[in-house]
Amino acid sequence: MYGATCRHFPVTRIGCGFLLAGLFFAMPTRGQNEWYQVPDSVPLPGPTSHHAMVYDSARGVIVLFGGTIGASAYAQSETWEWSCATRAWTQRNPPTSPPPRYTHAMAYDSARHVVVLFGGREDWSMPERNETWEYDGNNWSQRFPQTVPGARIAHAMAYDKARAQTVMFGGHLSGARLNDTWLWDGNNWTEASVPVP
Protein backbone atom coordinates (compact mmCIF):
# COMPACT_ATOMS: atom_id res chain seq x y z
CA MET A 1 0.00 0.00 0.00
CA TYR A 2 1.17 3.50 -0.67
CA GLY A 3 -0.26 6.97 -0.78
CA ALA A 4 0.98 10.02 -2.63
CA THR A 5 -0.13 13.42 -3.80
CA CYS A 6 -0.30 14.33 -7.47
CA ARG A 7 -1.19 17.93 -8.35
CA HIS A 8 -2.89 18.24 -4.97
CA PHE A 9 -5.20 15.29 -5.66
CA PRO A 10 -5.00 12.38 -3.21
CA VAL A 11 -3.84 9.13 -4.75
CA THR A 12 -4.04 5.73 -3.13
CA ARG A 13 -3.08 2.48 -4.84
CA ILE A 14 -3.65 -0.95 -3.36
CA GLY A 15 -4.42 -4.47 -4.52
CA CYS A 16 -6.20 -4.29 -7.85
CA GLY A 17 -6.89 -0.56 -8.18
CA PHE A 18 -6.41 2.97 -6.98
CA LEU A 19 -8.52 6.00 -6.13
CA LEU A 20 -7.65 9.42 -7.56
CA ALA A 21 -9.66 12.49 -6.58
CA GLY A 22 -12.88 10.49 -6.36
CA LEU A 23 -12.27 8.49 -9.56
CA PHE A 24 -11.49 4.80 -9.26
CA PHE A 25 -9.16 3.05 -11.68
CA ALA A 26 -8.83 -0.71 -11.79
CA MET A 27 -5.59 -2.56 -12.33
CA PRO A 28 -5.31 -4.66 -15.46
CA THR A 29 -5.92 -8.37 -15.02
CA ARG A 30 -4.00 -11.16 -16.73
CA GLY A 31 -4.02 -10.77 -20.47
CA GLN A 32 -4.61 -7.02 -20.23
CA ASN A 33 -2.00 -4.32 -20.28
CA GLU A 34 -3.94 -1.13 -19.63
CA TRP A 35 -5.58 0.52 -16.66
CA TYR A 36 -9.21 1.47 -17.07
CA GLN A 37 -11.46 3.98 -15.33
CA VAL A 38 -14.51 2.51 -13.65
CA PRO A 39 -17.56 4.20 -15.18
CA ASP A 40 -19.56 6.68 -13.12
CA SER A 41 -22.67 4.57 -13.68
CA VAL A 42 -21.62 2.13 -10.96
CA PRO A 43 -21.95 3.05 -7.25
CA LEU A 44 -18.81 4.79 -6.07
CA PRO A 45 -17.59 6.19 -2.77
CA GLY A 46 -18.01 9.96 -2.62
CA PRO A 47 -15.00 12.15 -3.39
CA THR A 48 -12.79 11.80 -0.34
CA SER A 49 -9.22 12.52 0.64
CA HIS A 50 -7.00 11.32 3.48
CA HIS A 51 -8.84 7.99 3.60
CA ALA A 52 -7.20 4.59 4.10
CA MET A 53 -7.39 1.60 1.78
CA VAL A 54 -6.04 -1.92 2.21
CA TYR A 55 -6.32 -5.19 0.27
CA ASP A 56 -8.05 -8.12 1.99
CA SER A 57 -6.36 -11.04 0.23
CA ALA A 58 -8.62 -13.70 1.77
CA ARG A 59 -11.79 -12.13 0.37
CA GLY A 60 -10.28 -10.51 -2.71
CA VAL A 61 -11.57 -7.04 -1.88
CA ILE A 62 -10.11 -3.60 -1.26
CA VAL A 63 -11.43 -2.10 1.97
CA LEU A 64 -11.79 1.70 2.13
CA PHE A 65 -12.62 3.54 5.33
CA GLY A 66 -13.05 7.16 6.33
CA GLY A 67 -11.54 10.26 4.79
CA THR A 68 -12.66 13.85 4.44
CA ILE A 69 -15.59 14.75 2.22
CA GLY A 70 -14.73 16.92 -0.75
CA ALA A 71 -12.82 20.05 0.21
CA SER A 72 -14.13 20.05 3.79
CA ALA A 73 -12.07 19.17 6.84
CA TYR A 74 -14.82 16.97 8.25
CA ALA A 75 -14.39 13.23 8.26
CA GLN A 76 -16.86 10.48 7.48
CA SER A 77 -17.11 6.88 8.70
CA GLU A 78 -18.20 4.95 5.62
CA THR A 79 -16.85 1.49 4.84
CA TRP A 80 -16.66 0.52 1.16
CA GLU A 81 -15.33 -2.60 -0.56
CA TRP A 82 -14.13 -3.00 -4.13
CA SER A 83 -14.46 -6.55 -5.43
CA CYS A 84 -11.64 -7.53 -7.76
CA ALA A 85 -13.85 -10.35 -9.11
CA THR A 86 -17.00 -8.37 -9.91
CA ARG A 87 -15.27 -5.03 -10.45
CA ALA A 88 -17.83 -3.22 -8.35
CA TRP A 89 -17.97 -1.09 -5.22
CA THR A 90 -20.30 -2.04 -2.37
CA GLN A 91 -21.01 0.17 0.60
CA ARG A 92 -20.96 -1.92 3.74
CA ASN A 93 -23.12 -1.06 6.73
CA PRO A 94 -21.59 -2.93 9.67
CA PRO A 95 -23.45 -2.79 13.00
CA THR A 96 -20.44 -1.06 14.58
CA SER A 97 -17.99 1.37 12.97
CA PRO A 98 -15.15 3.56 14.19
CA PRO A 99 -16.11 7.22 14.66
CA PRO A 100 -15.48 9.44 11.60
CA ARG A 101 -11.79 9.99 10.93
CA TYR A 102 -9.14 10.80 8.39
CA THR A 103 -5.33 10.67 8.18
CA HIS A 104 -5.54 7.26 9.90
CA ALA A 105 -3.70 4.14 8.76
CA MET A 106 -4.69 0.54 8.12
CA ALA A 107 -2.99 -2.80 7.44
CA TYR A 108 -4.35 -6.26 6.61
CA ASP A 109 -3.43 -9.06 9.02
CA SER A 110 -3.42 -12.07 6.67
CA ALA A 111 -2.99 -14.58 9.51
CA ARG A 112 -6.09 -13.48 11.42
CA HIS A 113 -7.98 -12.18 8.35
CA VAL A 114 -8.73 -8.74 9.79
CA VAL A 115 -8.06 -5.15 8.80
CA VAL A 116 -6.26 -3.26 11.59
CA LEU A 117 -6.89 0.50 11.93
CA PHE A 118 -5.10 2.95 14.21
CA GLY A 119 -5.17 6.68 14.86
CA GLY A 120 -6.51 9.55 12.78
CA ARG A 121 -8.68 12.50 13.74
CA GLU A 122 -12.24 13.71 13.14
CA ASP A 123 -11.44 17.27 12.09
CA TRP A 124 -8.71 19.86 12.61
CA SER A 125 -10.34 21.13 15.80
CA MET A 126 -10.30 17.68 17.38
CA PRO A 127 -7.29 15.93 18.93
CA GLU A 128 -5.56 12.99 17.30
CA ARG A 129 -6.90 9.54 18.27
CA ASN A 130 -5.11 6.47 19.63
CA GLU A 131 -7.81 3.85 19.12
CA THR A 132 -7.23 0.37 17.71
CA TRP A 133 -10.02 -1.10 15.56
CA GLU A 134 -10.32 -4.33 13.57
CA TYR A 135 -12.64 -5.21 10.67
CA ASP A 136 -13.40 -8.85 9.82
CA GLY A 137 -15.47 -8.22 6.71
CA ASN A 138 -18.73 -8.11 8.64
CA ASN A 139 -18.19 -5.77 11.55
CA TRP A 140 -15.72 -3.36 13.14
CA SER A 141 -14.70 -3.97 16.74
CA GLN A 142 -12.66 -1.70 18.97
CA ARG A 143 -9.79 -3.37 20.76
CA PHE A 144 -8.66 -2.34 24.22
CA PRO A 145 -5.04 -3.49 24.63
CA GLN A 146 -3.14 -3.01 27.85
CA THR A 147 -0.45 -0.99 26.07
CA VAL A 148 -1.46 1.67 23.55
CA PRO A 149 0.77 3.82 21.32
CA GLY A 150 0.36 7.57 21.54
CA ALA A 151 -2.26 9.28 19.41
CA ARG A 152 -1.15 10.21 15.89
CA ILE A 153 -2.06 11.05 12.31
CA ALA A 154 -0.31 10.52 8.97
CA HIS A 155 1.57 7.41 10.11
CA ALA A 156 2.33 4.22 8.17
CA MET A 157 1.25 0.64 8.81
CA ALA A 158 2.10 -2.66 7.14
CA TYR A 159 1.77 -6.33 8.00
CA ASP A 160 4.93 -8.37 8.59
CA LYS A 161 3.88 -11.86 7.51
CA ALA A 162 7.11 -13.51 8.69
CA ARG A 163 6.61 -12.26 12.25
CA ALA A 164 2.78 -12.26 12.14
CA GLN A 165 2.68 -8.68 13.41
CA THR A 166 1.34 -5.37 12.17
CA VAL A 167 4.08 -2.72 12.13
CA MET A 168 3.31 0.96 12.69
CA PHE A 169 5.84 3.74 12.23
CA GLY A 170 5.94 7.48 12.79
CA GLY A 171 3.26 10.02 12.12
CA HIS A 172 2.47 13.42 13.59
CA LEU A 173 1.09 14.60 16.93
CA SER A 174 0.18 18.27 17.42
CA GLY A 175 2.45 19.20 14.52
CA ALA A 176 5.47 17.30 15.86
CA ARG A 177 6.94 14.40 13.90
CA LEU A 178 7.03 10.98 15.53
CA ASN A 179 9.69 8.37 14.79
CA ASP A 180 8.63 5.48 17.02
CA THR A 181 7.89 1.93 15.85
CA TRP A 182 5.11 -0.23 17.30
CA LEU A 183 4.11 -3.87 16.79
CA TRP A 184 0.54 -5.23 17.07
CA ASP A 185 0.16 -8.99 17.58
CA GLY A 186 -3.63 -9.03 17.74
CA ASN A 187 -3.75 -8.65 21.51
CA ASN A 188 -1.34 -5.92 22.51
CA TRP A 189 0.95 -3.21 21.19
CA THR A 190 4.70 -3.37 21.91
CA GLU A 191 7.13 -0.58 21.19
CA ALA A 192 10.05 -1.88 19.15
CA SER A 193 13.63 -0.89 19.90
CA VAL A 194 15.00 -0.44 16.40
CA PRO A 195 17.33 2.08 14.76
CA VAL A 196 15.35 5.11 13.62
CA PRO A 197 15.55 5.99 9.90
Q: Which of 125, 103, 126 is nearest to 117 (CA)?
A: 103
Residue 34: the pLDDT is 62
In terms of Cβ atoms closer than 10 Å to its own Cβ (0-12, 13-18, 19+), residue 27 is middle
Question: Can you list the domains of the chain with their CATH numbers?
Answer: 2-191 (2.120.10.80)
The 3-class secondary structure across 88-143, one letter per residue, is EEEEECCCCCCCCCECCEEEEECCCCEEEEECCECCCCCCCCCCEEEECCCCEEEE
Residue 111 has pLDDT above 60, yes or no: yes
Residue 26: the pLDDT is 57
| 169 against 14, higher pLDDT | 169
DSSP 186: S
For the stretch 57-101, pLDDT in tens is 999 999 999 999 876 668 999 999 988 788 788 999 999 999 999
Residue 1: the pLDDT is 28
The 3-class secondary structure across 72-86, one letter per residue, is CCCECCCEEEEECCC
